[in-house]
Amino acid sequence: MRLISKTRSPFIHQLFYRIPVFKRTPVGNVTKRHSGFVMCLLCLLVSISGCSHAVSVEKNKDQAVSAQKEAILLVAFGISNDDKLPAYKNVERLVRSRVPDADIHWAYTSHIIRKKLAEKGIVVSSPEQAVAKLIAQGVTRLSVQSLHVIAGHEYEELLAVLHRYQSEFTSISIGVPLLSGVADADQVIDILLKNIPERRTDDALILMGHGTTHSADLCYVAVDGMLNTKDPRAFLGTVEGHPTFDQVLARCRQSGIRQAVLVPFMVVSGDHARNDMGGDDPESWKSMLAAEGIDARPVYRGMTEVDDLANLFVDHLMAARSFNGALSLKDKRN
């Protein structure tokens, strides 16, 4: 296969990622060996029949497309608590509002989450398992939406799975994670700042992101800078990356912050939010802020619980489905 890039933006990953898969498509029983003769014949027919031939070709093309089976695969990190499942269901609801007849499937990238669920008797596929099942079901056109915040390790693993199975599909399109460009970050920040009714006039806003060892951790640093420019009393820190909690705390001290709301900058308000952010443990963010004289009130609401934020994922999915292809794989025989 030969990889051809047509993307315009170098920001972490391409704005939209699409993998059309071109296989040898016979015209009747004609193979490439006869392609020169076929082209001459087609030119002759066009010159004789004019537009009628072009209409016939398009009609046949449309019939071929309509005969293909399509599915949508939503891929998330995963959740083990049933009370947070509505956050994911909200995304599915919004997808169905735009693609009413969609055949929607789910996959979790976290092995730990899948193992926890399996112990409860709940089976959720990994991305590779889900793709294999869809192939067995005869799906030929696959649309995938990553429900990750950044294009980090798990997103790259998802892309690797799709590359391995791309020859089994007529086309695969994938919508990128939430933060895949400056425009995405700008939208996310604006929506977040307008959707925290728990925040009072004198409250600072402290967002908790996950963080990562991947280079895409820079996304959190960028969002923190953009957020603080829009609202000097708003900060973003991460559990496992940058900016760190200590950096956020130092800036709170400098700004004279005495009260704040803590909000997860995560797709779902899960264990990190309940324990690391708002738990009663001395090392939780709420407790460490309290030790500095800052009254921090946790808000347990993930980003996909806010329709406007969840719709950004759906926007990425819809754009990928209609996009002509930022990346394409072409048959080396062409």
Residues 6+ apart with CB under 8 A from 151: 12, 13, 176, 177, 179, 180, 216
Return the pLDDT at 192.
Answer: 98
DSSP-derived secondary structure letter, 9 = -
Flag whether pLDDT at 33 surpasses 70.
Answer: no
Return the pLDDT at 156.
Answer: 96
Instruction: Specify the long-range contacts of residues 94-98, CB closer than 8 Å, at least 24 apart.
Output: 94/307, 94/310, 94/311, 94/314, 95/145, 95/314, 95/317, 98/314, 98/318
User: Measured at the alpha carbon of residue 296, what is the angle toward residues 292 and 300, in degrees to the nearest 5?
Assistant: 145
Flag whether pLDDT at 57 surpasses 50.
Answer: no
Q: What is the mean pLDDT of residues 233-254?
A: 97
Return the pLDDT at 67.
Answer: 66
Tell which wins on pLDDT, 91 or 29.
91
Return the pLDDT at 290.
Answer: 97
Q: Six-digit token pair at 92?
A: 């599915």
| DSSP letter string, 278-293 | T-SSTTSHHHHHHHTT
Query: Catalytic: 214?
Result: no
Return the pLDDT at 308.
Answer: 98
Upstream peptide bond of 282 is cis (omega within 30 degrees of 0): no
Q: What is the mean pLDDT of residues 28-41?
A: 40
CA atoms of 140 and 262, how far apart (whole Å): 44
CA atoms of 138 and 302, how far apart (whole Å): 35
Catalytic residue among 13, 105, 210, 272: 210
- Residue ranges per domain, the chain? 2-24+66-180+308-330, 196-301
CA atoms of 73 and 131, how far apart (whole Å): 8
Instruction: For residue range 182-197, list pLDDT tens digits in order.
Output: 999 999 999 999 999 9
CA atoms of 159 and 75, how far apart (whole Å): 11
Instruction: For residue range 127-153, list pLDDT tens digits in order.
Output: 999 999 999 999 999 999 999 999 999
Flag whether pLDDT at 35 surpasses 80.
Answer: no
Share of the chain above pLDDT 70, in %: 76
Residues 6+ apart with CB under 8 A from 37: none
Q: How confident is the model at residue 68 (pLDDT cuts 50, 70, 90)?
A: confident
Work out the mean pLDDT of the chain and round it to a whole number: 82
Flag whether pLDDT at 167 surpasses 60.
Answer: yes
User: Measured at the alpha carbon of residue 304, what is the angle toward residues 252 and 89, in degrees to the nearest 5?
Assistant: 155
The answer to whether residues 39 and 211 touch, using CB atoms and an 8 Å cutoff, is no
Q: Six-digit token pair at 58?
A: 């398009």
Q: What is the mean pLDDT of residues 86-94?
A: 96
Min mean pLDDT across 28-32, 67-71, 75-79, 142-146 is at 28-32
CA atoms of 245 and 66, how far apart (whole Å): 52
The answer to whether residues 267 and 87 touch, using CB atoms and an 8 Å cutoff, is yes
- Yes or no: domain 196-301 corresponds to CATH 3.40.50.1400: yes
Return the pLDDT at 65.
Answer: 52
- The domain 2-24+66-180+308-330 is classified under which CATH number: 3.20.20.70, 3.40.630.30, 3.40.50.720, 3.40.50.1400? 3.40.50.1400
Q: Do domains 2-24+66-180+308-330 and 196-301 have the same CATH topology?
A: yes
For residue 278, the one-letter residue type is G
